[in-house]
A and B are shown apart, each in its own frame.
Chain A
Amino acid sequence: MIRVFLLVTLCFASANALGNPNTDKPDAPFPAHGTIPEASKMASSLYGQYAKLSADINAIHKAGTSGPPEKIPHRLIESIAASIFQGKRDARHLQMMGEFCAMDLIRKYGILDENLHLFGQKFGRTQPGMVQRTKNIQRMTKDLPKWQKRHENVMKLLSSGKIEQATSEAEKMGGERYAMYAIMSDISESKTWWEVGFVEQTLGPCDAQVNPLRTNQYQQAAAKRLAEHLEPVNSFEQDSLKILSQLNSGGKVDFGDGTNGGPVEAFQWQGAKWSSANTSVLRALGVAYAFQIQIPDQSMEQLNASGKKSLASIIEAAGQSASDTEATVLYGRLLREIAILNRRVSNNELNAACQPALDKFLSTHAALAANVKRYDRATKEVLKMRRQLAEQRARSFQSNFQNTASLIATDHSGPPAIHVAPKTLTNFAETIIKETASVILNKPVYCEPVIRLSPTSTTALSPLKNFHYVNLVPLAIEAERTALADSLIASSEYPPLTLEAADALTSSEYLDYRRAGGTLGRIHLESMTTRLITLPDVAAAIGPLGQLPRFDQEVDPKQAIYWRFDIVPTWLQNNYFTVVAAAK
C-alpha cells in the first residue's frame, strides 16, 4: 500500500524538466553524462516515456481504487505492458553504460511494473478478467508453434554471433507476451511459463552473451574517454616549456591562438590552462568512478607539480628580463595574478611555490626591494588587525549557523535528526528531496571558502567537500572594498606590493570569501559521477587545483550523490572584513 501511495506523488513526472531533482522540481530527471554517446538519447527517451507511462498508470490506479475492479482499464494495461517491460530492460542497459540516472530509472520503472501487475491481477480476478485470462491462454496455445519458431530464430542468431540482433528479437517477443502476462501473473502456471518458458529459455541465453559483450565494449570506450580527459595534462607541460623558452629569450610570448603578451599574460594563460587541465582530470575521475577504472591520482599529482613549477618559472624569467623601471609595475601585477590563483589552491601552496622566485625577483631589483620592505611595514599591522577583527566578527555571526558539511548523513542507516542528506540514492529522488528539505530548508547555514565562478559571474560557489557544494550570489561590497584599498594605499596605478595585500585586495574585487552564512534556500540532488564528467570549464572552481575530491571510501562512487545547496547569504567574511546583508 505504501508503494501505491507513493505512486501518486510520482505520477506527475515531467520529462522536460531541466537540471537535476531539486526543491522546485523534485521529479526532475537526472541528466546522463553520456560517456557512452547513445546513453544520453536512451536516458532522455526513458524519462520521456516514463512521464507518459506514469500518467497511464495513474489513470489505472485511479480507476482501480475509486471504482469496482471490473472497471480497471485492462486494454490500457495491455497497451503499456510492453513499454514497461522494455523500459526496465533499457534502464539496466543504461546502468552498464555507467549512468547514475539508470538507478533512478530502474526504481521508477520498477514501481510502474509493480502497479501494472497489481492492478492487472486485480482485474484478472474479476469476472471479465477471468474471461480475458481464458482468451489469453487460448491465444498463447494457438501461437505456440509460431512462438517456438521465433525462439529457434533467436537461438540461431545467437549461435551465428548476431548477439544484439538476437537480444532485440527476444525483447520484442517478451514485450508481446508481457501484455498478456500482466493480468495473469498471479497464476502459478502463468508465472512458471513466463519465468521458465521465456526468461530462462529465450531471454536468458541472450543476456548471458549480450551483457558481457556490452560491458566490455563500454569499458573500452570509457577507458578511451578517460585517456582523452587526461590528455591536457601532457599538453600542459609541453605548452609550458614553449612559453618559458620564449620568455627566456626576452621577447613577447606567442600563445599560438592568435594572441601574445608578456610575463603577466603568460601567467594568466598558463593559470587558465592549469585550471582547464585540472577540470579535465576531474572529468576523468568521474569516468573512473562510473566504470570502476583506476583513479587518475598520478595525473593529478603530475599536473599539480608542473602547474606550480611553470608559474614560478614565469616569475623567475620575468624578474631576470625586466629593467628596474619595468620591475615595479611588473612585480605588482604578478603578485595580483598569484594571489587570485592561489585561492584555488589548498594551503596557499601556490604562494609557497612562487615565493623563492619572488625573492629572486627582488634580489635583482634593489630599489623595488626597498619599496616592498617599506610597503610591508606600512600594511602588515593593519592587515593583521583587520584579519583578527574579521575572524572574531564572523565567529559571532556564525554561532547560530550550522556548517553545510554537517548536513550530510554520517552513515547509511537512516536520517538522524540533523545529518539528513544521504550520500547515495537510497530512495526515490523525490522522496529524498522532500524528506531532506523538510528538515534542513530555511536553516541558517554557513560554508567555506567561497569562490566566484569568474570575475564577471553573478554566481559563486563553495567547492566540493563531503558530498556537497554550495551555490550563492555574493553581496555587493563596494564600501568595504574602497576602505580596504585605502588601508592598503592601493589603486590601479599603485598595486599592492606584498602577497598578503594582493590577496586582500583581489579577493574584495573578485568577491571571493573565506566564509559565507545565510539561509538554505534550495537543495538539488546531483550524481557525483555525472557532476564530475559533465563539469564545464566555467565551473572549474568547484574543485581545488591540484586535488582530487576525497570522500568516504565506504560509499560506492557510482551511487554517490553530490548535494548542491543554494544559500541566500546574510553575512560574508572576507579574510580582512565582514559584510552583513541589509535588513529587508
Chain B
Amino acid sequence: MILALSLALSTGCSKEKMNELAANVKETTSEITSTAESITTQAQSVIQTAKEQIPSTGSLTLEMTPPIKTNDAKIELISVGDGRPNVIQVLTYAPESTTAYPRALLHGTTTAASVAMLAGQQIKCDLFIQTSASDPMIASISGSPVAVDFSTYDLQAGTIKASISSSNLIRADNQPVSLSGGDLTAVVVKEGE
C-alpha cells in the first residue's frame, strides 16, 4: 500500500483518487489491527484451554495386582425420561475405541437427577475391567457391585471425584481378584456429547 501511495504521488493523481487511496489504507490498517487482536484472543484461548485440559481428561486408579491406572474417565448420568431410574456410567475409553487399554466401566443406577447431585452419595456399581484386548476380563461378582462414594463436584473444572471401596472381584478364568480400593476423577459429560 505504501508503494501504491508513493506511486500515486509520483505520477500526480487527482484529489478524489488520493482520498480513495487514503480510505483504502485506513481500512486495511484497521483489518490488520483486527486480525492481530483476533490472533491475540485465540492465543489467549489456546493458553486457557491448555490450562484446563490438565485435569479435564479425568483418571481412574484401581488398587489391585497389578494396579490399573487410566488417564481418561468420563461420567454420564443418563435419564431415559420415562420414569425409570437413571443410569450412572463411567467410561475410561471411547466406546468405539479398539486400542484404549486398560479400560474400565462403572455402571450403576440412581434417582439423582444430575451428576452434581451425586456428591456425598454412595452408588453401587458393576465394575468391568479389561487390561488388554486378549487378557481375561475382571469384573465385580454378579449381585455384589462395588461401592462408589462420590465426593467433590468441581463446577469450574467440570469434574467429580469419588473413592471406590475394597471389593472381591472375579477374573474371567474364574480366579478371584482382590480390589483394595480406588480413586476416580471423572469429567462430566452432558447428554449427547
Q: Which residues of A are in contact with B by a Cβ distance under 8 Å?
A: 328, 370-371, 374-375, 377-382, 384-386, 388-389, 392-393, 395-397, 479-480, 482-483, 486-487, 489-491, 493-494, 497, 577
Q: Which residues of B contact A493 (CB under 8 A)?
A: 83-84
**Chain B residues near A381 (CB-CB < 8 A):** 89, 91, 95, 105, 107
Residues of chain B within 8 A of A379, CB atoms compared: 87
Q: Are the C-beta atoms of A374 and B78 separated by less than 8 Å?
A: yes
Chain B residues 171-193 with CB under 8 Å of chain A are: 172-174, 191
Asked if B136 is at the interface (CB within 8 A of a chain A CB), the reply is: yes
Contact B107 A489 (CB under 8 A): no
Question: Quick check: B143 and A392 within 8 Å, CB to CB?
Answer: no
Cα-based distance from A577 to B172 in the complex (angstroms): 11
Residue of A whose beta carbon sits closest to that of B95: A381
B128 and A375: CB pair below 8 A? no
Contacting pair B174 A396 (CB below 8 A):
yes
Identify which of A388, A395, A479, A489 contacts B142 (C-beta below 8 A). A479
A392 touches B83 (CB 8 A): no
| 25 residue pairs A–B, Cβ–Cβ below 8 Å | A328-B82, A374-B78, A374-B80, A374-B191, A378-B78, A382-B89, A382-B105, A385-B107, A385-B128, A385-B139, A388-B130, A392-B136, A393-B172, A396-B136, A480-B143, A483-B126, A483-B143, A486-B109, A487-B126, A489-B84, A489-B86, A489-B87, A491-B84, A493-B83, A494-B84
Q: Which residue of B lies closest to A377 (CB)?
A: B78
Chain A residue numbers with a CB within 8 Å of B82 are 328, 371, 494
Among B95, B128, B142, B172: residue with most chain A CB under 10 A: B142
User: Are B142's CB and A577's CB within 8 A?
Assistant: yes
List residues of chain A with CB within 8 A of the CB of B80.
Answer: 371, 374-375, 378, 489, 497
Interchain pairs with CB closer than 8 A, number: 81
CA distance A382 to B142 in the complex (A): 13
Contact check: which of A328, A377, A385, A491 meets B137 at CB < 8 Å? Answer: A385
A122 to B89, CA, bound (A): 87
Query: Would B173 and A371 count as touching, CB distance under 8 A?
Result: no
| Residue B81 interfacial (CB < 8 Å) | yes
Contact A382 B126 (CB under 8 A): yes
- CA–CA, A214 and B86, complex, Å: 72
**B165 on the A face (CB < 8 A):** no
Residues of A within 8 A of B137 (CB): 385, 388-389, 392
The reply on B85 being an interface residue by CB < 8 A is yes
Judged by a CB distance under 8 angstroms, whether B122 is at the interface is: no
Residues of A within 8 A of B81 (CB): 370-371, 374
B79 at the interface (CB under 8 A from A): yes
Docked complex Cα distance between A389 and B83 (Å): 30
In the assembled complex, the Cα of A497 lies from the Cα of B105 at a distance in Å of 21
Question: What's the Cα separation between A78 and B174 when bound, in Å?
Answer: 69
Closest CB in chain B relative to A492 CB, distance in Å = 11
A396 to B191, CA, bound (A): 38
Q: When A374-B191, A489-B80, A489-B84 are in contact, do A389 and B139 touch as well, CB less than 8 Å?
A: yes
A-B complex: 9 closest residue pairs judged by Cβ atoms: A392-B172, A378-B87, A385-B128, A494-B84, A378-B78, A382-B107, A479-B143, A396-B173, A483-B143
User: How distant is B100 from chain A, measured CB to nearest CB, in Å?
Assistant: 13
Complex Cα distance, B128 from A464, in Å, reads 36
Residues of B within 8 A of A480 (CB): 142-143
Residues of B within 8 A of A382 (CB): 89, 105, 107, 126, 128
Task: Tell me the smallest distance from the CB of A99 to a CB of chain B, in Å.
Answer: 49
Having A385-B128, A397-B174, one finds 16 other A-B pairs with CB under 8 Å, namely A370-B81, A374-B191, A378-B78, A378-B89, A382-B126, A386-B128, A388-B137, A392-B136, A392-B173, A393-B172, A479-B143, A480-B143, A483-B142, A486-B109, A489-B84, A489-B87
Docked Cα-Cα span, A87 to B143, in Å, equals: 63
The residue of chain A having its C-beta at the shortest distance from the C-beta of B81 within the complex is A371
By a CB distance below 8 angstroms, the chain A residues around B83 are 493-494
